[in-house]
Structure 1
């Protein structure tokens, strides 16, 4: 029965994802039309004849109406064809396969750091609720939420990269080439991305634990003689695990979006850099394919989060 419920949930989520995919790609496709300039002129060259520019527009379908262009792209994408870059001629699928793993590594690294640092801070703050230590942690968390990722990234480059030379200031090594070097190069970008994540995890966990500690259930456990540490680890964290997992799932989406800017600061050859370059050059297929890949990734992560939540709390299947 539980398996059928989960299968029905997966099917429902996938059906709900289809209009999201269409809407996201349609919005991006529409916005690309507003970018000044003509990609056909860029491809043909400044001194190209009018006939040559017209030939390029026809070859790439740029002379078709907007809805016809989008409809053709959507039909091709549904069949696994994301087109080719208008400028480099490289298949968009190859561009995504080459750059997206770099972005995913940095994003996952930042999420892991957010959890490893944010969870202990949230536990300490909750167990010292109302103390100066609690106020200090929550104050730092508020500051962490407010600090822009790109600004903090530049500070890290200046001090930890260029001044102290603890980490490489820019550049990237693929995890498929040398994993230890990849971790070393990705540390500063991950630190720049995880400041908001650490703050969010700490604040949400602290709020949930304080609420649990004031519940009648926990008071009953105290009356039975259980130690505060046992109550915290065996009951408190178990009860807030679903909320924490939900926060981490949402956090991944935020960090993935933030990598678009952070990759530019650290010169990372990721999908964010590809999007920025493609937007500046009017390379529609690359932008569309990259956005599609990011949206699908977010949907998959959210679906995995929902499934894990049902494992941690089977009562969700009854909703």
Structure 2
């Protein structure tokens, strides 16, 4: 059961996040006005009459002032109505519920790979600081941070899909249709997303563990005869768990944002790919709803992270 103080902390965090959600949707709504082309012409068709185009503008409120359009959208969104796609007519919420699980699967897969690979690398690097092993791992980590996701994605497709035929080049299978098949399709996109994450986890963990190993209380534990493995598991990882959790939450947020390009490279029917297509087609309601869904996801992850902080270290209390 969550204590009252933690409930107040979460409520406070959520209230603080509301202006961020409004600002994010306002900025996106503003930028969409700069997209070239006329949505009404796109909907009506290039050969449509001027009267038909004007009817489309009035039907969707495209002839109203910018602030009126945004205000109407925001009021409807608060009531759970994100509108319909201007092109397909599908409710935006249905689109989000259909594509967002695919994005979450790839992102979670990438975060898991980042932790599973990055933690052992960070531990190995910290066990021999300033050694050749440490230098090799940190050098590879620096390279991993610098590699663009979309470029790595294209390289992975070229090598592992087109040349060696180990994985599919494009497409996606929903986990509900078979977990093993979904993992197979999501492996290359997850690798493209997790390279930066592996590097971040390894670097952060290595830095924190080296600092802990050099502390006085750890030297005292060594003097008492406690084994390095016991010190690592009972003291080292426990003390860096909060920092590691921070890195993991940031990795999730970064990976979610990077899906905009990675899903396009691998033609995954996810949220990122949907946003790109909607922007190119001028389907503003879909863009607005999808961006809001991603912002809410980031906020929820941050709330869960804040709550986990207080569980890992009860001394942390933010109200």
Query: So what's the TM-score if we normalise by structure 1?
Result: 0.98
Deviations 1:264-319 (A, max 9, x none): 11110001111000000111000000000000000001110111111000000278
Matched, 1:256 2:256: yes
Deviations 1:22-43 (A, max 9, x none): 0000000000000111000111
Distance in 1 separating the partners of 2:235 and 2:70:
52
Distance in 2 separating the partners of 1:233 and 1:19:
41
Partner of 1:66: 66
Taking a change above 3 Å as real, the CA distance of residues 152 and 48 of structure 1, as seen in their structure-2 partners, is: same
Distance in 1 separating the partners of 2:184 and 2:49:
50
How far residue 174 of structure 1 moved from its aligned partner, in angstroms, is 0.6
Counterpart contact for 1:161–1:167, Cα < 8 Å: yes
Distance in 2 separating the partners of 1:224 and 1:4:
42
Secondary structure in structure 1 of the residue aligned to 2:47: coil
| Pairs within 5 Å for 1:284-295 | 284-295=284-295
| Pairs within 5 Å for 1:42-61 | 42-61=42-61
Partner of 2:212: 212
Secondary structure in structure 2 of the residue aligned to 1:176: helix
Partner of 2:277: 277
Give the aligned length.
319
Partner of 2:307: 307
Distance in 2 separating the partners of 1:42 and 1:56:
10
Distance in 2 separating the partners of 1:210 and 1:7:
36
Counterpart contact for 2:9–2:318, Cα < 8 Å: no
In structure 2, stretches of 5+ residues that fail to align are none
Distance in 2 separating the partners of 1:203 and 1:21:
31
Runs of 4+ in 1 over 2 A off after TM superposition: none
Distance in 1 separating the partners of 2:50 and 2:156:
50
How far residue 217 of structure 1 moved from its aligned partner, in angstroms, is 1.5
Distance in 1 separating the partners of 2:164 and 2:233:
39
Give the alignment's Cα RMSD to 1 decimal: 1.2
After TM superposition, the structure 1 stretch with the greater mean CA deviation from structure 2, 280-289 or 39-48, is: 39-48
Partner of 1:246: 246
How far residue 2 of structure 1 moved from its aligned partner, in angstroms, is 7.8
In structure 1, stretches of 5+ residues that fail to align are none
